[in-house]
Structure 1
Amino acid sequence: MNHFIIYQLIFLAFFEISFSQEYLWPTKEGKIISSNFGEPRPRRFHAGIDIISKEKNINHEIFAVEDGYIQKIKISSNGYGKVIYQKLIDGNIIIYAHLSSFNNLLNQISNIEQEKNNSYEIEKFFDKNEFLIKKGDLIGYLGETGGAYGPHLHFEIRDSLNRPINPLLNGFGIIDKHRPIPNEIALTPLDKNSIINGHNLTQIFNLKKKDIGQYEFPDTIHVYNKFGISLKSIDKINGLSWKYNITGISLNVNDVELFRIEYDKYDFKNNHLEEITIDNSLRRLNDGDFHRLFLIDNNLKTNFIKNNSNGILNLSQGYHNVLIKLFDHNNNISTIKGTFYVAPPIQIDVKIIEKKEDSVFFQMIPKGNPFPIQNFVCYIFNKKGFPEKKLGNLSLKKTKKGLIIELNEKDLNNKILQFIGINKFGAISEPLNYPYEVIYDDYLKTDFQLNISHLEKTVIFEISSKSFLPHKTEIKVKKDDVTFLNHKQLRPGVFHTSPLKINELKNMKNITFNILSNPKRELIFSFEPSISTFSKSTFSNDKNCNLIIHENTFYDTTAFWIRKVINNNTIKDGRQISDIYQLNPFNIPLKDSAVVKIKLKDFESIDKKGIFYYDKKEGWTYLKSKYDNKNKFFETSLFSLESVVILEDTIKPIIKEIFPGNNGIYKSSDVKEIKLKINDELSGIYNKNQVDITLDSKKIFFDYHPIKKTIKHNLINRLTPGNHEIIISAKDNVGNITIKKINFDIRNL
């Protein structure tokens, strides 16, 4: 085709720009969106809205939303796929992404660019006003190209500084009367001495619905020292079944706004802050997506945060009223009300004062606190430490200092009762475990394990077993000297230490857990973490795995370590070459990358091997690896701390569903495209450069869809009668190669 003719057509498209007050919706299929602006994605925010058709299929017409000109078109096998960038007359930029195709003129231009560059992937820029577009002009068709999960139009609006802005707040509104729906709040301790309802760890509370759009705390929450609030919520839109990100949240304490977040616009350089805008720790612990209403560091503020307060609460003793407002793009509002009671933590004493034939009477009083206990909660655990139920009382009597509680005796035998007391101000005690006629397991044969909880500013050690221990215990850590740690049996068989500041872990060698009975039992757990402010590297105990950081890997001072995973049965495919190593702390987000190295055994070759990490949805997933021949290590970089292993993958890619088929006979008019599918179950094929296709000895370019694993090449010219040969070569990420030859005939039938 004559290139000059095509570009002449472009210049003839000039027309007078007319101004309009409102944008046009880009489809005629109704205002149906499957996701909205600001939704959390891996290490980024969703920069637009996803528009789908009623039938959820492709090739529906896409129209220009306003007058302007085309800045560029781009075609790639990942990311936005086929995409148009349009500059509007008001200075904003519109992105129409994942298109199945452009309009006829843009298709011709893209075909020219592909032929000229002999590449499916192209990027074509236009000068200002070179390719003018009127509001309502057909510019393309809805598709699923690039990294699209299903047919949709990814639609963005950016300001003149290339910052994504919320379309639903800027000319693309949708009728919606649904109020946001809050589900849970989480309170996170932010200091060594912080307590939430008697606990040092983050506590999650279900919210109670009081009325339409009105929610409240389940009860007064007892807090002490610094903490932050996070909120799990969703939004709905009239007539649509999807769940959406909320548009904004405000936090007020005692009628003063302390934090406000609005998903209106942001800068792409803020994308990595998604993992601290949404609480990464709660997400990694499978608790869901919680919006943080606090900032650990004011230097890590996204454009979404609208005030100068960091939202961290350190309230004076007494009662404090809380009001949280959630709002959506149409300013539908839901509210959450609650009360914090701020006071030091309390403890209780419990003892049996009377037994009857069918019931037992317990006395509960405060320990070292003048305020009487006025309410309680009791949970039943079996002797293995598993919770069974919440126990109700037969009778309850208030005394001057506490309670007399009557419980049904048949519920108690060989059980552990966990009592929690509540005083008249709403202060909640630390839990107290009370064994009732328990036949104990042999503590000398009981298995124990060490777990470490890395919080925002502190670390808590947990030593756990599947058996309640009635004995006195001690926990000590060995550094340059020996330090004994305060601890408590938080629930039957599970001991927690008091929080330690991160720097207190410096030079730590091991943790010792002693059971002070006769005979005494001593368990020593090796634990030698590195501290990010002092060291940039840590090794596994066997020295075969190395985690390397740099000064920007973490957001804050962090302890990091490696644990060998024992008895793991997740590897179903491939041959396991190394041990599995868990990089820690797995719940702490990374500001920038880290490097992991795993040693290859001396007798193993490097062929068909690499480092894989475990993804809970996809299973073992390949990480781009390189081999250090001098030190015999495979190494890779990553942006989260995962379970990693060296695997060997010897299974070649599978090439299937090929058209035209081998030995097929076709009319020329029936063969308009070449298409096929490539599967590689373990290491995978990440990009189109790992696939080569020739047609009659000439290399052809094609569209590779990395999610659907499909390949398609549109034939520009009809095939001539006679025999034709297609050769397909596919190489997976560790070097396994499959070559397939297809011979077919074109005949004038």
Structure 2
Amino acid sequence: MTFRLLFLLLAMPVFSQVNYPKDYFKSPLDIPLSLSGSFGELRSNHFHTGLDFKTQQKEGLNVYASADGYVSRIKISTFGYGKAIYITHPNGFTTVYGHLKKASPTIEAFIRDNHYKEETYEIEMFLKPEELLIKQGEIIAFSGNSGGSGGPHLHFEIRETESEKPVNPLLFGFDALIKDTKKPVVTTLMAYPVGENSTVNQSLQPITLNISLQADGSYVSEKVLVNGKVGFGISAYDTFDFNYNKNGLFKVQSYLNGNPHFGYEFNTFAFDESRYINALLDFYRFKKMGVRIQRLFMVNPYPLSLIKTNEKFGVIEVKPNLTNNYRIEVSDFNNNKVVVNVPIQYSPIAPTIASNVKKTDYFLKANNDNIYKKDNMSVFVPAGTFYDDFYLNFDVQNETLTFHDDSVPVHKNFTVTIENSSFSPEEKEKMFIASVSGKSLSFNFTKIKDSVFTSYTKNLGQFALAKDTTPPKISQVNIPEGKWLSKQNNLKLTISDNLSGIKSYNGYLNGKWILFEYDYKTKTLTHEFDERFINEGRNDLKVVVSDNVGNSTIFETHFFRSQKQ
């Protein structure tokens, strides 16, 4: 930790100066590029690692290889990038194409063979350089909406092959393909008292500051009267020409009395540090109000390589008779810039707004191991699980464990343990530690040994033991029993589970395993007909779906189909 923080300090005013090739990679689409997501954009628990290109609100557009190389990895997943292809290039970079509908015929045949070899929909393959060679401009796939996509688009990344760090594609010349003459838009400026006795404008709570637009296009905030220490936060977004999406920022830099104070620039970062987004954000306001305030200071320093700061970590100590000129610059990749000037003045006036921190019997120190026990339940919190110290709400009542709430960000797993010897071995097989929200229960993967139930989770809130004895549901969509389906191209069913969730699904046609693709957004299983598995005339279908505690449902039917057209 000390080494990482020292790096942040030494690197203070200097951002990445790597010279990336500007004309090596071509556009993966043959339509004008328009962004629905930018590199580094603030997402749930992570920074966005690429550019999201709009695909005219439809699927099936040609996706082209951006440069010569070979397919080095293929991953097919229900969540995340969905169907994704990785191409490694001889210049030391790898491009990634995500949320695809399907691959080109040659690659799709390779994928399909592996589906049937592994007998599973979700697969990940790492290929050798000579297996699937690709030329620049070759069609490798067709755009889609697979995985965790909220609508049809192409997710495009450029990564350093060796380190696997994602790099902003705009650094490779893609900025020339996306016109941007618009300045970022600042929506909120916040001031935070730092320390228990600090006040800002007579408040012990964080406050929103009024900002006013000046004739030169900059903003000036209302005067900030401080007794003690203060930090600032900002909410802003960027837009592009011919595009009304609210995208993420490229660069934020603050200055104190003309000197760089705290800043970050979205050139590159590592995947394993992406969750530190929750430390950068005012997480409480994000969870409670849905607004993403980016805090321009650290109370408990964290090692996010994007951030360059000084020994004060963005915190300003305001003293009598000293002038503090604070400035925030918000910029996009094309250096369209918005400046916010914040006048700061010392004030000894007593606070009139009390702190909103609720003190409890438990004060959690983020840098220490912590364990909390009551009755038959306990929680173990390793050092570094949380970013900041806070007063914790911990209790056990009516066989339900309360471990704070989701207004506090969690960086890594903590352990929830419940001991209960009153259940039979058969009952325990169907049990797990559930997260409780009102009357709703949600599944946490649980290990069971003798009478001890253990779950490793990042979910705060309430926990209790739950039992799931109800099997999943399967409903046919276009498979009426005993009917001729010669004019159909596929078989479709919907599947669902009301508690522990779907774990596996397998289909069998005439006794042979067949590929069903699962779309969790619509809860739909789809099998595209393959003449290798179809009988002329009668065909028998069997589908088996299991949940996370082993309850299974079997759906069986038959239909008729003729291959003679």
What is the aligned partner in structure 1 of residue 99 from structure 2?
98
* Cα displacement (A) at 1:267: 1.1
SS of the counterpart of 2:299?
coil
Q: Structure 1 residue 536 and structure 2 residue 370: aligned?
A: yes
Structure 2 distance, partners of 1:158, 1:603, is: 51
* Cα displacement (A) at 1:701: 3.2
* 2:30 counterpart (28, 31, 38): 28
What is the aligned partner in structure 1 of residue 316 from structure 2?
313
Deviations 1:605-646 (A, max 9, x none): 546443333579x96432222334324xx4322224223344
Q: Is the 8 A contact 1:325 1:334 kept in 2?
A: yes
What is the aligned partner in structure 1 of residue 5 from structure 2?
none
What is the aligned partner in structure 1 of residue 206 from structure 2?
202
Structure 2 distance, partners of 1:530, 1:316, is: 31
SS of the counterpart of 1:663?
coil
What is the aligned partner in structure 2 of residue 276 from structure 1?
279
* Cα displacement (A) at 1:731: 2.0
* 1:232 counterpart (223, 232, 235): 235
Structure 2 distance, partners of 1:552, 1:594, is: 10
The 3 A distance-change label for structure 1 pair 192 and 136 is same
Q: Structure 1 residue 717 and structure 2 residue 531: aligned?
A: yes
Q: Structure 1 residue 739 and structure 2 residue 554: aligned?
A: yes
Q: Is the 8 A contact 1:547 1:562 kept in 2?
A: no
Matched-pair identity in %: 26
* 1:214 counterpart (212, 215, 218): 218
Amino acid at match of 2:145: E
The 3 A distance-change label for structure 1 pair 211 and 130 is farther
* 1:263 counterpart (262, 266, 274): 266
Provide structure 2 residue ranges, at least 5 long, that are not aligned to the other structure: 1-20
Structure 2 distance, partners of 1:248, 1:86, is: 29
Q: Is the 8 A contact 1:609 1:646 kept in 2?
A: yes
Where do 1:454-473 residues align within 5 Å? 460-461=358-359
The 3 A distance-change label for structure 1 pair 209 and 645 is farther
Where do 1:502-651 residues align within 5 Å? 527=361, 536-540=370-374, 543-557=375-389, 559-563=391-395, 580-584=400-404, 586-598=406-418, 602=422, 605-606=427-428, 608-613=430-435, 620-631=441-452, 634-651=453-470
Where do 1:42-57 residues align within 5 Å? 42-54=44-56, 56-57=57-58
The range that moved more, 706-715 or 176-185, is 706-715
Structure 2 distance, partners of 1:452, 1:552, is: 25
Amino acid at match of 2:243: L
* Cα displacement (A) at 1:32: 2.1
Deviations 1:310-330 (A, max 9, x none): 211113324422211101122
Structure 2 distance, partners of 1:128, 1:678, is: 39
Amino acid at match of 1:676: L
Where do 1:358-437 residues align within 5 Å? 429-430=351-352
* 2:541 counterpart (720, 726, 730): 726
Structure 2 distance, partners of 1:534, 1:305, is: 24
Higher relative contact order (CA 8 A, sep 6+): 2
Structure 2 distance, partners of 1:640, 1:746, is: 49
* Cα displacement (A) at 1:156: 0.5
SS of the counterpart of 2:36?
strand
Deviations 1:579-616 (A, max 9, x none): 55431264333332111234559479546443333579
Structure 2 distance, partners of 1:20, 1:635, is: 51
Where do 1:418-497 residues align within 5 Å? 429-430=351-352, 453=357, 460-461=358-359
TM-score after normalising by structure 2: 0.86
Q: How many residues align?
A: 536
Amino acid at match of 1:175: K
* 1:189 counterpart (193, 197, 210): 193
The 3 A distance-change label for structure 1 pair 252 and 580 is same
* 1:691 counterpart (487, 505, 530): 505
Deviations 1:96-122 (A, max 9, x none): 112111112212222233333333344
Deviations 1:456-493 (A, max 9, x none): xxxx53xxxxxxxxxxxxxxxxxxxxxxxxxxxxxxxx
The 3 A distance-change label for structure 1 pair 82 and 532 is closer
Amino acid at match of 1:294: F
* Cα displacement (A) at 1:33: 1.9
* Cα displacement (A) at 1:661: 2.7
The 3 A distance-change label for structure 1 pair 533 and 176 is closer
* Cα displacement (A) at 1:333: 0.7
Structure 1 distance, partners of 2:206, 2:147, is: 39
Alpha carbon RMSD of aligned pairs, Å?
3.0
The 3 A distance-change label for structure 1 pair 211 and 655 is farther
* 1:253 counterpart (240, 252, 256): 256
Q: Is the 8 A contact 2:184 2:330 kept in 1?
A: yes
Q: Is the 8 A contact 2:370 2:382 kept in 1?
A: yes
What is the aligned partner in structure 2 of residue 507 from structure 1?
none
TM-score after normalising by structure 1: 0.66
Q: Is the 8 A contact 1:213 1:333 kept in 2?
A: no
The range that moved more, 169-178 or 708-717, is 708-717
The 3 A distance-change label for structure 1 pair 184 and 580 is farther
What is the aligned partner in structure 1 of residue 246 from structure 2?
243
The range that moved more, 698-707 or 555-564, is 555-564
Provide structure 1 residue ranges, at least 5 long, that are not aligned to the other structure: 1-18, 347-428, 433-450, 454-459, 462-510, 512-526, 566-577
Deviations 1:437-473 (A, max 9, x none): xxxxxxxxxxxxxx983xxxxxx53xxxxxxxxxxxx
SS of the counterpart of 2:484?
strand
The 3 A distance-change label for structure 1 pair 203 and 598 is farther
* Cα displacement (A) at 1:556: 4.9
Amino acid at match of 1:590: V
Deviations 1:305-356 (A, max 9, x none): 134452111133244222111011221111111211123233xxxxxxxxxx
Bigger Rg over Cα: 1
* Cα displacement (A) at 1:164: 0.6
Structure 2 distance, partners of 1:339, 1:52, is: 41
SS of the counterpart of 2:191?
strand
